[in-house]
Structure 1
Amino acid sequence: MTTTAPRPETDGAPLGSASDRILRTHLPSREAAPGVSVRDADTSLRLDGGGNGLLDTTHFDVVRFPPPPWVKEQMATAIDTGAWAYSPYRGDPEVLTALSAPIGDFLGSPVSGENLALTPGTQGALFTTLAALVNEGDLVLLADPDYLFCERILAFLGARVERIPLTFDTDEPSLDLDLIESFIDQKPKLLLFSHPNNPTGSVYSEAMIARVAELAVEGDFLVMVDELYSRLIYGDGAFHHLRTQPGMAERSITLLGPSKTESMSGFRIGVIVAPETVIQLVEQCLAMTSLRAPAYSQHLLSRWLVDDHDFLRDRVAELDVLRTLTIEKLGAVPGLRLAPQNATAYLFVDVSAFGATDVEIAARLQREARVIVSPGYQFGARGSGHFRICYARDEAEWSAALDLMVTCLTAFAAEAGLTA
């Protein structure tokens, strides 16, 4: 005889109504603008990732900046090898073993295949790792500003989130290390930040990274660092990986992938580098969410970090030219402030002097310049008064779009009484 579990109480909510977990991702504790929720702002600006016929600066233009030439050949080989269609949940063992040496060399810290898991993009890495580790009510420290979906995923999981301010308009950007230290007595589960920072492009000094490691060891908490853009660095400055610091191989979780620098977002492949105990937990979460990273895409990583150095050098040089163009054109707008950093293909534009909300500015840029930008509220409270743009675009198209943006923003500035 079969029995049917009693139907849960719905408190009068209609069938198909949002779960409490989804409602938490609307971030009801803060507003995008006075009287406008984060969710309502996203919806009004059509920030659904689809572009909606406008020039979408929320991501890279992968037509102008396509993947390396070998990707097509490698994907064809993978598709022809039908036995590659399925892999263990955390990734094909041969791929993981082959990746361990180049990833270890890149990070400056030994890595074995047992320290790696492959995920559906670094977005999948972010969600599955946090879901595997974070309990309802756990204290998680999160940089502010930082990647927009971090806060939303943590809200979905019911974590208690405390934002750690990032000062990024200086020559040496830094998280508020004293504030991190002040939370140690409250036993945080995790510190989470991107490096280079998304949205600002900030690259942290060795001293700051070393101090983060010291605090993590002292407070006995994990540190998750999203290093998706760590190959997209301008100039000759050094990049300092957290994993190399004393004690951090045992308590750091590093997210990597070819999505941005190599324009491989469409292949949905990311990499987690973490202690073996964490990887085992992530594997369980992968099994329940996606079963595995796209199996054929896993084999595209065979040449990543190995023989793509010339491609990377040329890509960074091209983006640097676009970066200069963007700074020069936007720099002509009265009242607009820029603090360009030395990494990513993003510029975080300060328009706080305009006296308008992020929503108003983003909406007007859509109407008058036909451009979608990422409004600053998405990245945290300290992002308000800014917008983020990605300048990895076709040069001629981007130059024309910038002219329209400058015209729109200059009119906005004039209405606010700002002059050159």
Structure 2
Amino acid sequence: MAARRHPVASRRVLRTHLPERADTLGTSVREADLELRLDGAGHGLLDTTHFDTVRFPPPPWALAAFTDAANDGELAYTGYRGNAAVRAACARSVSGLLGIDVDPDREIVITTGTQGGLFATLSALVDPGDVVALADPEYLFVERMLRFLGARVVRVGMVEHPTGPQLDLAALEEAVIGEGVTLVLTSNPNNPTGTVYTPETVRGLAALAVRHDVLVVVDELYCRLVYDDNPYTHLAAQPGMARRTVTLLGGSKTESLSGYRVGVAVGPADVMDAIEQVMAISCLRAPAYSQHVLTRWLVDDVEFVRTRVAELRALRELTAERLRRVEGLVVRPGAGTAYLWPDVSALGMNDVEVAKVVQQRAGVIVSPGYQFGPSGHGRFRVCYAREETGWSAALDRVVDALNHAATEVAR
């Protein structure tokens, strides 16, 4: 058989495999994912890489809003940046959330979920060779997107703080000055650690961005999922940051709207114009009928979210208490999200080995730490937004599996 004239995967795609991580991982990130069957399918196992949307369904109004829109064929097509009426409603509610005035015509785009919004935003802003500072650890697909776009990624670690790890602003400033960083990307609350940036961290990041005139993309998907009255500070509301911040928002997690595939990007008008162009050439628009669930989001779900946060807080405590029964496992719950980020380094196994043990012996899929950056080696991420009875039994299996495996390693 003749050889293919063209390769199966472009160099852009191959860069997303992160082959250089083989120095510490022993293989590329892509190959490690395939070995662990981390493709989002679940494969009949209990998959803790995402929320249990059976136990935690969307608000009752979501389906009604979608159905009403779907019954009106006139709503099937919208402008590339979203239905005008939906954008107007979102601009009002998002303005109240962020504490800034959002122009519905110029400063907001309805995106294909927060994931699609992230890719559209980075595609609009990043050229090959651009230097982008990325928090370490950070959401698993961000670095892969940046590598796809040809950016050079500079990882910026965290520093310890009583309330949870915080972005190392001194290291970030060194990177901005020394590496030529033009764009900074982070999430708050941070995915995977669950940490919520303190007001001091957010103010410091804002001052740095103004001082060096850099743009910041902040993923605030979990900004409503914060526990124990911890203060939450929106970056875009800081002095000088409305024109230097792109904020990504959505209801896919706290409000379980993930199946509707809609999110929101908010930021300077010229950036929104560029995002609109990316939307036009990639997907034309966010799902047209789904957009209408956003007219109720942030408006009719205040009590819903309050109850949801209380339920997840109880699950956080249950999960942390149970995992601490693994000898040597270190668990420090964050103040936000529905994730824990345990440290397994004392077990004599790395994050890949731990993920394999938990899959094969407990029937549970966890996210190995390598997916979130170099600092993730020796950790894993687990989502505890699960049905309580089944999750309790699964946790018992995980604890037994890890204790037995650690004992075997120690022999």
Normalised-by-shorter TM-score class: over 0.9
Q: Does 1:397 align with 2:390?
A: yes
Q: Does 1:225 align with 2:218?
A: yes
- Please state whether the residue corresponding to 1:286 is helix, strand or coil: helix
**RMSD (CA atoms):** 1.4
Give the match for residue 133 of structure 1: 125
- Report the residue type matching 1:76 in the other structure: T
Give the match for residue 37 of structure 1: 28
Q: Does 1:181 align with 2:165?
A: no
Q: Does 1:155 align with 2:151?
A: no
- Report the residue type matching 2:313 in the other structure: D
Correspondence list, 1:6-405, <5 A: 15=6, 17-31=8-22, 34-113=25-104, 114-167=106-159, 170-185=162-177, 186-405=179-398
- Give 5+ residue unaligned stretches, structure 2: none
In the superposition, the TM-score normalised over structure 1's length comes to 0.94
Q: How many angstroms apart in 2 are the aligned matches of 1:261 and 1:131?
A: 26
Q: How many angstroms apart in 2 are the aligned matches of 1:345 and 1:223?
A: 24
Q: How many angstroms apart in 1 are the aligned matches of 2:23 and 2:186?
A: 22
Q: How many angstroms apart in 1 are the aligned matches of 2:357 and 2:409?
A: 14
- Please state whether the residue corresponding to 2:265 is helix, strand or coil: strand
- Please state whether the residue corresponding to 1:337 is helix, strand or coil: coil
Contact 1:139 1:188 in 2 (8 A): yes
Q: How many angstroms apart in 2 are the aligned matches of 1:149 and 1:212?
A: 23
- Report the residue type matching 2:94 in the other structure: I
Contact 1:193 1:225 in 2 (8 A): yes
Q: How many angstroms apart in 2 are the aligned matches of 1:103 and 1:323?
A: 28
Q: How many angstroms apart in 2 are the aligned matches of 1:272 and 1:352?
A: 38
1:73 is displaced (CA, Å) by 1.1
1:248 is displaced (CA, Å) by 0.3
State the Cα deviation string for residues 202-245 of structure 1 (Å, max 9, x = none): 00111111111111111111000000000001111110000111
- Give 5+ residue unaligned stretches, structure 1: 1-11
Q: How many angstroms apart in 2 are the aligned matches of 1:247 and 1:31?
A: 41
1:31 is displaced (CA, Å) by 2.7
Contact 2:261 2:290 in 1 (8 A): yes
- Please state whether the residue corresponding to 1:224 is helix, strand or coil: strand
State the Cα deviation string for residues 62-104 of structure 1 (Å, max 9, x = none): 0010000111111110111111110000101111111112101
- Percent identical across equivalent pairs? 54
- Report the residue type matching 1:245 in the other structure: Q
Q: How many angstroms apart in 1 are the aligned matches of 2:264 and 2:376?
A: 28
Comparing 406-415 with 153-162, greater Cα deviation is found at 406-415
- Please state whether the residue corresponding to 1:117 is helix, strand or coil: strand
Q: How many angstroms apart in 1 are the aligned matches of 2:408 and 2:98?
A: 49
Equivalent pairs counted in the alignment come to 407
1:169 is displaced (CA, Å) by 6.9
Contact 2:19 2:27 in 1 (8 A): no
Give the match for residue 7 of structure 1: none
Q: How many angstroms apart in 2 are the aligned matches of 1:196 and 1:159?
A: 24
In the superposition, the TM-score normalised over structure 2's length comes to 0.96
1:41 is displaced (CA, Å) by 0.5
State the Cα deviation string for residues 99-127 of structure 1 (Å, max 9, x = none): 11210111111111121001110000000
1:307 is displaced (CA, Å) by 1.6
- Please state whether the residue corresponding to 1:148 is helix, strand or coil: coil
Contact 1:222 1:251 in 2 (8 A): yes
Give the match for residue 415 of structure 1: 408
Q: How many angstroms apart in 1 are the aligned matches of 2:18 and 2:4?
A: 20
Q: How many angstroms apart in 2 are the aligned matches of 1:183 and 1:33?
A: 23
Q: How many angstroms apart in 2 are the aligned matches of 1:347 and 1:14?
A: 47
Q: How many angstroms apart in 1 are the aligned matches of 2:356 and 2:167?
A: 31
Q: How many angstroms apart in 2 are the aligned matches of 1:217 and 1:257?
A: 26
- Report the residue type matching 1:399 in the other structure: S
1:416 is displaced (CA, Å) by 4.0
- Report the residue type matching 1:125 in the other structure: G
